[in-house]
Structure 1
Amino acid sequence: MEHASMLKLSEVLTTLDMSRAAFYRMRSRGQGPRLHRLPNGHLRVRRSDLDAWIEGLAETTV
């Protein structure tokens, strides 16, 4: 897995212009990009997963 393609949660929140609380509310409803928990407990999101999730949002609103 290429490390550069993994985003920190703070980078995802900046990209989405969303607060951490709003992100976790969305996740509790079963929405949002797929998260990966690293062995150290930190969360990461693959850039490709985030891009696909955003693209899926665009498709459902058209």
Structure 2
Amino acid sequence: MARDTRAKSADLLTVWQVLDELGGISRRTFYRWRELRIAPACIQLPNGELRVRRDVLNDWLAERAEGAAS
């Protein structure tokens, strides 16, 4: 069971999957956030495509939750 948990937390999401998870924000907005260094950390693959680890996205969202401790 621990292996399944690790595998899920290490899932790599495409930019399109991240946009969908964020409620359908535009691709342009996501790349603007990257320019401003406020987007979740990405992994750039050798072919230039970006991926976001599931656990990184979850942590990034938790940090932005209303009422989150600063």
Using the size of structure 1 for normalisation, the TM-score is 0.83
Partner in structure 1 of residue 15 of structure 2: 9
Equivalent pairs: percent with the same residue? 41
Greater Cα radius of gyration, structure 1 or 2: 2
Shift of 1:44: 0.3
Unaligned runs of 5+ in 1: none
Distance 2:51 2:25 in 1: 16
Runs of 4+ in 1 over 6 A off after TM superposition: none
| Amino acid paired to 1:13 | L
TM-score under structure 2 normalisation? Answer: 0.75
* Deviation at residue 22 of structure 1 after TM alignment: 0.8
Structure (1 or 2) with the greater helix fraction: 1
Alignment of 1:32-43 (within 5 A): 32-43=39-50
User: What is the root-mean-square deviation in Å for CA atoms of aligned residues?
Assistant: 1.4
Tell me, yes or no, if structure 1 residue 27 matches structure 2 residue 34. yes
